[in-house]
Amino acid sequence: MECILKNRCIQKLKKQFVFFTIMRLLKFRIMK
């Protein structure tokens, strides 16, 4: 059970991280 929960948490973090980076890149592009 713990393994599954951990994997889900990691996937969530990865998704959040990707979303964050994309937003940053977009902001960077708009600034230029």
CA separation for the pair 9, 15 (Å, rounded):
10
Token pair listed for 20:
């964050």
Q: What pLDDT, on a 0 to 100 scale, did the predictor assign at position 17?
A: 96
pLDDT digits (tens, 9 = 90+) for 1-32: 677 888 898 999 999 999 999 999 999 998 87
| First-residue to last-residue Cα distance in the chain | 47
| 14: three-class secondary structure by DSSP | helix
Q: What pLDDT, on a 0 to 100 scale, did the predictor assign at position 26?
A: 94
Specify the pTM: 0.59
Q: What pLDDT, on a 0 to 100 scale, did the predictor assign at position 32?
A: 72
CA separation for the pair 21, 2 (Å, rounded):
28
Q: What pLDDT, on a 0 to 100 scale, did the predictor assign at position 1?
A: 60
Q: Domain-by-domain residue ranges, the chain?
A: 1-31
Question: b vs e for 12-25, b when ≥16 Cβ sit within 10 Å of the residue's Cβ?
Answer: eeeeeeeeeeeeee
